[in-house]
Amino acid sequence: MTTPPAPQTLPVAVIGAGPAGLMAAEQLAGAGYKVAVFESMPSAARKFLRAGVGGMNITHAEGYEQFLPRYREAEPCLRPAIDAFTPDELRGWIHALGVETFVGTSGRVFPREMKAAPLLRAWLHRLREQGITLHTRHRWVGLQQDEQGLCWQLDTPHGVQELRFGGVVLALGGGSWPQLGSTGNWCDLLGDVGVEINPLQASNCGFELPWSDYIRERFAGTPLKNVGLGLTTADGQQERQTGECIVSAYGVEGSLVYALSAPLRELTQQTPDKARLLLDWLPHNSEAEIVDKLQQARKGMSSSNLLQKKLKLPSIANALLRECCPDLVMSDHRALARALKAMPLPTVTGTRPLSEAISSAGGVRFTAVDEQLMLRALPGVFVAGEMLDWEAPTGGYLLTACFATGRLAGRGLANWLALRGE
């Protein structure tokens, strides 16, 4: 599968061998086209494999009308692709590869073996049987347009080659985890030929907070479990999530933070002085219930013991109360309960670098593509996956949209070729 292609016109190309690209290739091969897949890395789907190291979260089993709003502003643009390949249909597709799935307690869907590698091996085997060829270490580096059409330049182990295709699906990922292939270098290549692109930004990322030396030195790496985080968005809306996060040396990270990364990032850019998270230590208890428990404490109990024995809170709760609410009178049970339900963390100073993020926001604007995801500026060129301008929290939403847009782009190119009689 790694034999370099001859420098000649090939019918159809997919550039990028992640989930979106491989799904597009599968659709094209199923429509009867000879497909060549080009990948810059030494092997396919490296980010997909890396994401599956700790447990491959493939999609989510929540109700469909709860699932779609996870894509926020991009929901109307992504909905046609996901309607055509729903989370249930994605699970069925995985089962057809001989890989069973199950729903975890959080509603997340995992392969039975909790790993990405068996799924990818089975998929690549099926793609080979469909006649798809994979050319690794082939990096797209240039695009020229002449009277014959588009000429694609790829840097290969045999030097730079110039190739022409009947049609192309681009699935090069966003800008996160560049060491695994998603460098975002395509932004300049497409921008130079008139494609409208929003700058790539970190999504599902950590945020920087100015902790004191005491918090950094004593509590960095401490998980906060079964807590809530909330914020007021730039347009005055309230957003709140519950789950787990981690106090890190630079600030906060973890799935609960990632779920709020879009509105929190927007706050840091639009109203930085208001970019604050409110921490709810006891999201399943009301203020009145907390007050009742606090009043059961014996006289003279220290604040640390009070929080640990009566509310089952870890020692970091007392430390953060003193740092974040320095004027709080701990003996005032009602004030303490209010602070525990809405502790204002230090003002966020920024996101962590894009290279550290799990995914990226920004990319090709949906106004730059048609309903089949073909670039309006480049007929016959389609885009899929994280190259498009959308974002979603972790929990299976990212992969679901990558698979769905890859499927739509592959089918779109097949339809475009058929209409042209190719």
Q: What tens digit of pLDDT does each residue of 46-56 get?
A: 999 988 676 78
- In our burial notation (b when 16+ CB lie closer than 10 A, e otherwise), range 20-29 reads bbbbbbbbbb
User: Is residue 125, in this structure, part of any structural domain at all?
Assistant: yes
Among 325, 351, 377, residue at a domain's last position: 351
Q: Is residue 3 part of a domain?
A: no
Read off the pTM: 0.93
Strands (E), 116-187: 133-135, 139-146, 149-156, 159-163, 165-170
**Are 198 and 225 members of one domain?**
no
Mean pLDDT of 380-405: 97
Does the pLDDT value for residue 5 go beyond 50? no
What per-residue confidence (pLDDT) applies to 172?
98
Residues near 105 by beta carbon (within 8 Å), at least 6 away in sequence: none
Does one domain contain both 197 and 211? no
Give the chain's end-to-end CA distance (angstroms, integer).
Answer: 25
pLDDT of residue 10: 65
Asked if residue 66 and residue 181 are part of one domain, the reply reads yes
Asked if residue 361 and residue 331 are part of one domain, the reply reads no
180 and 216 co-located in one domain: no
Last residue of a domain, one of 351, 369, 387: 351
Q: Say if residue 299 is in the same domain as residue 414.
A: no
pLDDT tops 70 at residue 2: no
Domain check: are 48 and 142 in the same one? yes
In a domain, 415, yes or no: yes
Averaged pLDDT, 283-300: 89
| For residue 7, pLDDT beyond 50 | no
The pLDDT tens digits of the residues spanning 340-389 come to 999 999 999 999 999 999 999 999 999 999 999 999 999 999 999 999 99
Q: Are 366 and 389 in contact (CB under 8 A)?
A: yes
* Region 143-172 average pLDDT: 94
We report the CATH number of the domain holding residue 177 as: 3.50.50.60
Q: For residue 20, is it within any domain?
A: yes
Mean pLDDT over 202-219 rounds to: 97
125 and 43 both lie in a single domain: yes
Q: Rounded to an integer, what distance in angstroms lies between the CA atom of residue 408 and that of residue 89? A: 14
Share the mean pLDDT of the chain. 94
Specify whether 375 is located in the same domain as 229. no
Per DSSP, helices labelled H in 84-160 are 87-96, 117-129
One-letter amino acid for residue 173 of the chain:
G
**Is a pLDDT exceeding 70 seen at residue 67?**
yes
Phi, psi of 142 (to 5 degrees): -165, 160
Per-residue pLDDT tens digits for 87-146: 999 999 999 999 999 999 989 999 998 989 999 999 999 999 999 999 999 999 999 988
Instruction: Decide if pLDDT at 82 tops 90.
Output: yes
Q: Is residue 4 part of a domain?
A: no
- Let me know whether 20 and 139 are in one domain: yes
Exposed, middle or buried by CB within 10 Å (0-12, 13-18, 19+), for 125?
Answer: exposed
Q: What is the pLDDT of residue 4?
A: 45
pLDDT of the residue at 52: 66
How many domains are there within the chain? 2
> CB–CB of 321/313 below 8 Å?
no
Q: Which of 316, 351, 386 is the last residue of a domain?
A: 351
How much is the average pLDDT of 412-420? 95
Domain that holds residue 290: 207-351
In a domain, 5, yes or no: no
pLDDT value of residue 315: 94
Q: pLDDT > 70: what percent of the chain?
A: 97
Does 298 fall in a domain? Answer: yes
Question: Is it the case that residue 3 has pLDDT exceeding 70?
Answer: no
Whether 22 and 112 share a structural domain: yes
59-60/108-111 β-pairing: antiparallel
Shared domain check, 269 and 137:
no
Residue 197 lies in a domain: yes
